[in-house]
A and B are shown apart, each in its own frame.
Chain A
Amino acid sequence: MPSRALCVATLCLVLLSVLVLPASGLGAVGWAAWVLLMVLGKSWLISEQFMELRHAPKLWRMALLLWPLLLGLLLVGLWSAAQ
């Protein structure tokens, strides 16, 4: 059987993936912020738990955490500005 940590991380990923569905009624900015939050949550779980970067040198951790953060901010910023 997989470890408990892996099972919890998988469950959290599934929840974060499905939680976008009931939030579709939010306003434009609220929806964009919610989507960004879900993206960041999933990306954090993938890099820290699945890629096991929680024990890696700081630079590698930062690189993998900044990738979704910067892209997510760009997407949501441009998306909100276009509304």
Chain B
Amino acid sequence: MFTSPINPANTTQAQRLPGDVALWFFVLAELSVFALLIAGFAVARFLDPAGFSAGPEALGLTDGVTLTLCLLGAGSCVAAAVEQVRGKRPSRAALWLLAAQGLGWGYIVLKAQEYQHLASQGLSIDSGGFFTQYWLISGFHFVHVLLGLLVLLLLSVHLAWRKPLALSTLESAGIYWHMLDLVWVMLFALFYLLL
């Protein structure tokens, strides 16, 4: 009889894929889309260096590091929440999820301020070169972070009301958030470091 190698019931510790397998295919699809966008940015910059030279100067490296710490810190809190649920401590898990949301909203507020700062300088998605790509890619990521925060909010409310929650559900939410971290690590290098 056929048995799936990724079913936790059929696998050893060495072969376990956390979360829902459908979510992993979704993650691969999302990473593929981001890869195309990032590759497009890199090629466009290579073909038109002058159009991209002025762009990164408008972004602050310190802001980039702060945004990175917010997102990665939130990812750590989500991972801690998963550990608490595994240890049958849902109340503590809810607190870690709240901490993750706090850091996630920190990212949203800082990023919104950055967008506002750029818009006030007339650097919009229509500005061409760096800024068209920047608004498109970072905006796409921004919307994903908002969706991730909504998922974390729903899960923390669920845990706070002491409703039963499947571990794979929380693991899947965590994997989605870590995917956002993974993409951001690349975007951070793209927008703030490789000037």
Tell me whether B31 and A67 are in contact (CB under 8 A): yes
Count residues of chain B with CB under 8 A from any CB of chain A: 45
A57 in the interface (beta carbon within 8 A): yes
Tell me whether A81 and B46 are in contact (CB under 8 A): yes
Task: Tell me the dominant secondary structure on chain B's binding face.
Answer: helix
Task: Tell me the dominant secondary structure on chain A's binding face.
Answer: helix
- Given A20, A43, A70, A81, which contacts B193 in the complex, CB threshold below 8 Å? A20
Closest to B13 in A: A55
Tell me whether B175 and A51 are in contact (CB under 8 A): yes
Given contacts A21-B65, A55-B15, A82-B45, contact A46 B76 (CB under 8 A): no
Given contacts A35-B193, A46-B178, A55-B16, contact A67 B35 (CB under 8 A): yes
The number of chain A residues touching the other chain, given as a range, is 35 or more
B169 in the interface (beta carbon within 8 A): no
Closest to A83 in B: B49
Q: Which residues of B contact A (CB under 8 A)?
A: 5-6, 13-18, 24, 28, 31, 35, 38-39, 42-43, 45-46, 49, 61, 65, 68-69, 72-73, 75-76, 79-80, 83, 96, 171, 174-175, 178-179, 181-182, 185-186, 188-190, 193-194
Q: List 19 A-B contacts (CB under 8 A).
A: A6-B76, A6-B79, A14-B69, A17-B68, A17-B72, A17-B188, A21-B61, A21-B65, A35-B194, A42-B185, A50-B79, A52-B171, A57-B5, A60-B24, A64-B31, A71-B35, A71-B186, A75-B186, A75-B190
